[in-house]
Structure 1
Amino acid sequence: MTDQKVEDKRHLRSIKTKQKLLEAAKDVFLKEGFQKATISQMIKKANIGYGTAYVHFQGKEDILIVLMDNVMEKFYEIAEISFLPKSKKEAETIIQAQAAAFLKMAETERDMMQVFEQAIGISAAVSDKWKAIRERFIQRISKDIVYAGQKRLARSELNPHIVARAWFFTNEMYLWEIVRNEHQGTVEEIAQTITFIYTKGLYC
């Protein structure tokens, strides 16, 4: 066997081991919550060596951050939906569909999102990760607002970044209410209401 083939096998084994640990960690986090979960429990459940686990992750925070990235990719896909409206009405339709999909995803991923919320309140590293995630969404929303302004659909006198932050924070508030199962009204009602208020203020 050539050196390259040996290296490829090692790399594949390393990927499989990392995935095995992530799957085990997800189960442990869901069962124990962030605070009580330990990397030892994850290693035991994954049936891998301690040294092997620490090659991939420094601790449970690192593992959770990767799991956050995996879940948030599903939210990013919603945020990246093409936004090229030709009218105010078309813009409202796209925005409402995005808001509803975003909040429905919070329902779908409720169990892991509950773990993330616990961790954000406890771990500085996870809190910083959430801030970075938030900024990624805000940057994407800002681009859509700039586009709408260029097409003379949105008010040009408003700062796109400030508007984008306001819109994301509104969605984020309802996201966490849904995660906690504290929301009043259906996801569709919430999406319709917040979209109405947002678009009436922004669009000409």
Structure 2
Amino acid sequence: MEETKSVTDGRHLRSLHTRHKLLEAAKEVFREEGFHKATISQIIKRAKTGYGTAYVHFTGKDDLLIVLMEDVMTAFYSIAELPFTPASRAEAEELILYQTTAFLRMAESERKMLQVFGEAIGVSASASQKWAEIRERFINRIAQDIAYSQQNGLARTGLDPELVARGWFYSHEMYLWEIVRGEHQAQLDEIAKTLAAIYTGGLYS
């Protein structure tokens, strides 16, 4: 029994190692070639694994990209998921500015992979669907924070939290892609300060 468990554990570890190698290889190839030019053959060769083994883990390059999108955006989501329980409007404004600044700085640090994601979203239905899911996850979390502020007398009531959250995230999304494309005209801190001021000025006034 113990021997069987040891064999099973060994297979599991090898499987995890192979999956990790494929993801790391995909990340490298996507960064070098972009999504459109990258091929599953290049990724498998870079990972130094066999085709049969690779297809046990992933159905193709789209599948690999989806996992990489989830990994990168989980880091972004950790910003949105920071505890949001301000006791005053000033504290709420401080937290919102911090989150906005962190979000934009992460866009800058993950610029290369986000470029790949942006390209994929335009040509891959699965990548486009995944981005839509990511967007909704952010919006739902932001709406929870808005509802908290309204329920605790910090923010204006009478505004639909989901609608406010949607507009708030769309503004971030626009600047995220401008940063990724190198089109932003101002410093990131200045962009964050302006976005936060407009948002808190309307919601917390």
Q: Structures share a fold, TM > 0.5? A: yes
Measure the CA separation in 1 of the matches of 2:106 and 2:181: 14
Q: Once the two structures are superposed, what CA deviation does each residue of 1:36-85 show, in whole Å capped at 9, x if it has no partner?
A: 10000000011100000000000000000101111111101111111111
**Alignment pair present for 1:203 and 2:190:** no
Counterpart residue type for residue 69 of structure 1: E
Counterpart residue type for residue 6 of structure 2: K
Q: Once the two structures are superposed, what CA deviation does each residue of 1:167-186 show, in whole Å capped at 9, x if it has no partner?
A: 00000100110011110111
Shift, 1:131, TM fit: 0.3
| Stretches of structure 2 lacking an aligned partner (at least 5 in a row) | none
Corresponding residue number in structure 1 for 2:20: 19
Measure the CA separation in 2 of the matches of 1:92 and 1:171: 16
Measure the CA separation in 2 of the matches of 1:186 and 1:82: 27
Corresponding residue number in structure 1 for 2:41: 40
- Aligned to 1:58, the other structure's residue is in SS state coil
CA RMSD of aligned residues (A): 0.7
Shift, 1:33, TM fit: 0.3
Counterpart residue type for residue 17 of structure 1: T
Runs of 4+ in 1 over 6 A off after TM superposition: none
Measure the CA separation in 2 of the matches of 1:45 and 1:157: 55
- Aligned to 1:82, the other structure's residue is in SS state coil
Shift, 1:6, TM fit: 0.5
**Alignment pair present for 1:190 and 2:199:** no
Shift, 1:118, TM fit: 0.1
Counterpart residue type for residue 20 of structure 1: K
Corresponding residue number in structure 1 for 2:132: 131
Q: Once the two structures are superposed, what CA deviation does each residue of 1:87-127 show, in whole Å capped at 9, x if it has no partner?
A: 11111110011000000000000000000000001101000
**What is the correspondence of 1:62-81 to structure 2 with a 5 Å cutoff?**
62-81=63-82
Measure the CA separation in 2 of the matches of 1:29 and 1:179: 15
**Alignment pair present for 1:164 and 2:171:** no
Counterpart residue type for residue 5 of structure 1: S
Measure the CA separation in 2 of the matches of 1:84 and 1:135: 22
